[in-house]
Amino acid sequence: MKHIPSRSGGLKPLRCMWPIAIAFVAGVVAQDRSGEWPMYSGSYRAERFSSLKEITPSNVSRLRPVWVYQPPGTGSLETTPVVVNGLMYVTAGPTMVQALDLRSGKSIWEWTRPIGQSVLNLGFPRVNRGVAVLDSTVYVGTLDGYLVALDAKAGVERWSVHVGENPLGHSITAAPLVVDNKVIVGVSGGEAGIRGFLDAYDAKSGKQLWRFYTVPSPGEPGSQSWQGDSWVHGGGATWLTGAYDPQLKLLYWGTGNPGPDWNGDSRKGDNLYTSSLVAIDIETGKARWHFQFTPHDVHDWDANQIPVLVDAEINGRPRQLVVQANRNAFFYVLDRKTGEYLLGAPYAKQTWAKGLDEKGRPILVPDMDPSEKGTLVYPSLQGSTNWASPSYSPLTGYLYVPVREMGSIYFKTPVEYKPGTYYTGGSEKRLDEESWGAVRAIDVKTGKKVWDFELPSPPWAGVLSTAGGLVFGGSNEGNFYALDASTGKPLWQFQTGGQIRSGPMSFAVGGRQHVAVAGGHALFVFALE
Amino acid sequence: MKWLLLVIVSMVAAAAAAAQPAVARLNTAGASDVAAGQRIFDSQCAWCHGAGGTGGTGPDLRRSSLRHAATDEALVGIVRNGIPGTEMPGFAVALTERMAWQTAAYVKSLGRTKPASLLGNAKRGAKVYESSGCGSCHTVNGVGGISGPELTSVGALRGVPYLRESIVKPAAAHPTGYLVVVATTKSGEDIRGVRVNEDVFWIHLRDAGGNVHALEKSQLAKVERQLDASLMPSYESRLAAADLDDLVAYLATLRGAQ
């Protein structure tokens, strides 16, 4: 079995040795993997950082498109391409995987799962955000709730397993994560009254190894945070990809909002482990610790945003950290071994909390819950950031966050559970015209903003940082741009002609660094001319 | 695991029940359903349609027939799913099937209320429209200017209170696509117009003369978005009260290409 290496490791002298070591042990010339983008967030640390440094602030003005790929069908692309073993794997909604040649952008194989109109997608578009790859197999989740294993060279289906009941609202749009011969996959459905879980399957056979429920059943730890039988439809979806620490053998996964979203009357209590970060033992599937960002959330501020693993000094002491810019407008720094809260600060406009107490629990402003007449609250339902990936550069020590500056009027309505329908209990009226966005650089040691690159509207595009000293990002208006990672100064841009709702990534082929991003219904790949 | 099985079995059974067509016959709604629908309407719909469905940025709903809702089923469908290509959003996330049905029942009940008759005379209003020069900026049935919104269907899209306000106090609310922006060049020149497009690096403004300015933001000293402004002047002091009533009455009759 072969582990997919962490790309970010390439920056550290000791880890740089590993390709040489493998070559020596195996007695063959090791394949150079430095140009790969092996998983959704680039590495287990989920930094979305590329160690490639050919493209720099001084030459990025020469960046040009080298090919554009348009998959069959329609709909926006939300994929992050994965590049492994000389192929690029991209996904398109509702459920399609394409393997592309890196130089020409031409399709080598295509796999499509027929998805009928009756397949539910309650609370999210009919999209797919990417694959996971291990050795000769590609893994993809499907809108109708299956995990499918495909041959990496030909797209032939090897096995599929049923993960969740789509008629009840379960769906998979997130890229799975492959860890230690296990495929980890989460589910969507937090607006449909599901009881969320995270699953591990054997990468070879597809056999289920464990299931971690994000909402405990009666008698389990945390169950007292639910009223009556409200836990049954308690939400806590796991709809985005998490991070992993191979030394601690811990998975870090953000959990979704409690159900019903905006009417918490029937679920008094903190509603563990919703709107939380959970550290799960990879072998047992049990939580080692949890940290709840928004206890008893009533604004749909789920905590599925990508957690990023960072090693940095906090108060003069080197720490192993996990950081998250949360949907609730606060940035958090936790010890990733213990879950200890170390630092928290608002990074975007918010009106619901006076601050965080010494344990990181929000100190609430009264009367900010949704109401029948409407309650104006910042941030909006979509939060101060959402699924669009942040990026962390170990070179600058900054977390680059796609920030949404927007408020909403939140409504509460009566709610009843009906299987396969929305179970939300409210809605929002967004303050669109007063909204704006930014890529915001946050110093992870202090939680303070270092710079802003302003955008005309709250973005849905993720961010990539590179060892070349650049930050790449996108806009709803179609711009794909490069910023100076230290200052935020714009250095280059390309108009893709469609809304960018995806995360950029970088790879190398033929010794040249490339940058790719999906905009509208096309994938754009750039290199220096 | 037994409870889990039970839960799943009951969920599947309930899902099958939910698959049966929703009750769409609104005439069977009782007074309590209509009252519940009114409460939902006041909270969720009155923002655009006005309390009591009198109209606002959204149309007046006090009509016996609504042009997108020929049947009860269509009306419930609009409440749930909105009308594609229009400003009407769907409320499937916010409202349960029953609540959507109750809301639709209330909307249908509005069709039985008698709309307040318009104060003005539409025929005279057409003349006011002409003599006031409205057509220099607005188009009706293919004829007119381009710097303001087309008005061919404005009577079907907007309620009377909104039509009146947009003449008297045009800056109070502007339709989508008519945000006023003032761009100041580095040499100090101001360009004022409605924003026809904007991305991170460019902004396109159409000035009152209909000219489009493509402006690269890096060449501008300042971009000011005027959320409470309109290129249209107020006609409050320019029109006699009776003329204003007539003009509103005329605009209310504009319900699509003639």
- Structure letter (DSSP) for residue B45: I
Q: Are B176 and B165 in contact (CB under 8 A)?
A: no
Residue with tokens 């961010």: A463
In a mutational test of the A interface, the residue from B11, B40, B91 whose CB has the highest number of chain A CBs within 10 Å is B11
Whole-number Å distance between alpha carbons of A428 and A406: 12
Measured CA distances, B1 to A41, A113, A178, B4 (Å): 35, 31, 28, 5
CB within 8 Å: B43 and A418: no
Please enumerate in sequence order all residues whose Cβ is within 8 A of that of A287, keeping only pairs 6 or more positions apart, or say none: A212, A273, A278, A279, A280, A281
Q: How confident is the model at residue B93 (pLDDT cuts 50, 70, 90)?
A: confident
Q: Are B159 and B178 in contact (CB under 8 A)?
A: no
Number of separate helices (H) and strands (E) present in chain A: 1, 38
A121 at B interface, C-beta within 8 A: no
A1 part of a folded domain: no
Nearest by CB to A411, which of B14, B18, B44? B44
Q: Any idea where the domains of chain B sit in the sequence?
A: 19-110, 122-174+232-252, 180-226
A245 part of a folded domain: yes
What is the full DSSP assignment across A414-454?
Answer: -----TTS----EEEEE--TT-EEEEEEEETTTTEEEEEEE
Which residue on chain B is closest to A374 by alpha carbon?
A: B43
A426 at B interface, C-beta within 8 A: yes
Q: How many domains does chain A have?
A: 1
* ipTM at complex level: 0.86
Measured CA distances, A377 to A221, A411, A458, A518 (Å): 32, 11, 16, 32
Whole-number Å distance between alpha carbons of B90 and B66: 17
Nearest by CB to B18, which of A411, A418, A455? A418
CB within 8 Å: A478 and B40: no
Whole-number Å distance between alpha carbons of A124 and B27: 34
In a mutational test of the A interface, the residue from B7, B8, B10, B93 whose CB has the highest number of chain A CBs within 10 Å is B93
Percentage of chain B with pLDDT > 90? 68
**The two three-digit tokens of residue B184, written as one number:** 């100041």
Q: Quick one: which of A301, A318, A523 has its CA closest to A404?
A: A301
d(CA B151, nearest CA chain A) in Å: 23
The pLDDT value recorded for residue B15 is 44
Domains B19-110 and B122-174+232-252 in one fold: yes
- pTM across the whole model: 0.90
CB within 8 Å: A411 and B7: no
CATH of B122-174+232-252, one of 1.10.1760.20, 1.10.3720.10, 1.10.760.10, 1.10.645.10: 1.10.760.10
Residue with tokens 């539409």: B122
What is the full DSSP assignment across A354-380?
Answer: EEE-TTS-EEEPTT-S-BSS-EEESS-
Domain coverage including residue A256: 7-528
Positions of chain A with pLDDT under 70 = 1-32
In a mutational test of the B interface, the residue from A422, A453, A483 whose CB has the highest number of chain B CBs within 10 Å is A422
The pLDDT value recorded for residue B24 is 64
Residue with tokens 């045009």: B170
Q: Verify whether residue A300 is a known catalytic residue.
A: yes
The pLDDT value recorded for residue A157 is 97
B51 at A interface, C-beta within 8 A: no
Q: Is A132 exposed, middle or buried (0-12, 13-18, 19+ CB in 10 A)?
A: buried
Mean predicted confidence (pLDDT) in B58-66: 88
Mean predicted confidence (pLDDT) in B150-171: 94
- Residue B190 pairs with which residues in a beta bridge? B184
The pLDDT value recorded for residue A315 is 85
Whole-number Å distance between alpha carbons of B217 and B202: 5
> Exposed e or buried b for every residue in A294-303, given b needs 16+ CB within 10 A?
bbbbbbbbbb
Q: Is B109 exposed, middle or buried (0-12, 13-18, 19+ CB in 10 A)?
A: buried
Q: Are A456 and B217 in contact (CB under 8 A)?
A: no
Q: How confident is the model at residue B23 (pLDDT cuts 50, 70, 90)?
A: low
Q: Is A49 exposed, middle or buried (0-12, 13-18, 19+ CB in 10 A)?
A: buried
Which residue on chain B is closest to A124 by alpha carbon?
A: B93
Q: Are A235 and A383 in contact (CB under 8 A)?
A: no
The CB density around residue B78, as the number of other CB atoms within 10 Å, is 21
B69 φ, ψ (degrees, to nearest 5): -130, 75
What is the full DSSP assignment across A242-306?
Answer: -EEETTTTEEEEE---BSSSS--TTS-S--TTTTEEEEEETTT--EEEEEESSTT--S-----SP
Cα dihedral A104→A482→A442→A273 (10° resolution): -30
Q: How confident is the model at residue B27 (pLDDT cuts 50, 70, 90)?
A: confident
Whole-number Å distance between alpha carbons of A219 and A231: 12
Please enumerate in sequence order all residues whose Cβ is within 8 A of that of A309, keeping only pairs 6 or more positions apart, or say none: A44, A45, A46, A47, A243, A245, A252, A320, A321, A322, A336
Please enumerate in sequence order all residues whose Cβ is within 8 A of that of B13, keeping only pairs 6 or more positions apart, or say none: none
CATH number where A392 lies: 2.140.10.10
Catalytic residue among A300, A311, A443, A484: A300
Instruction: Report chain B residues whose CB lies below 8 A from the CB of A372.
Output: 39, 43
- Structure letter (DSSP) for residue A101: E
A2 part of a folded domain: no
pLDDT at B225 over 80: yes
Q: How confident is the model at residue B116 (pLDDT cuts 50, 70, 90)?
A: low
CB within 8 Å: A433 and B96: no
**Positive or negative: CA dihedral A359, A231, A144, A154:** positive
Q: How confident is the model at residue B119 (pLDDT cuts 50, 70, 90)?
A: confident
Whole-number Å distance between alpha carbons of A329 and A350: 6
Q: Are A224 and A167 in contact (CB under 8 A)?
A: no
Measured CA distances, A345 to A335, A348, A504, B247 (Å): 16, 9, 27, 55
d(CA A264, nearest CA chain B) in Å: 14
Determine the 3-state secondary structure of A170 from DSSP: coil
Helices (H), chain B: 2-18, 31-40, 46-49, 72-81, 97-110, 122-131, 154-157, 160-168, 241-252
Question: Which class is domain B180-226?
Answer: mainly beta
CATH level 3 topology of B19-110: Cytochrome Bc1 Complex; Chain D, domain 2 (1.10.760)
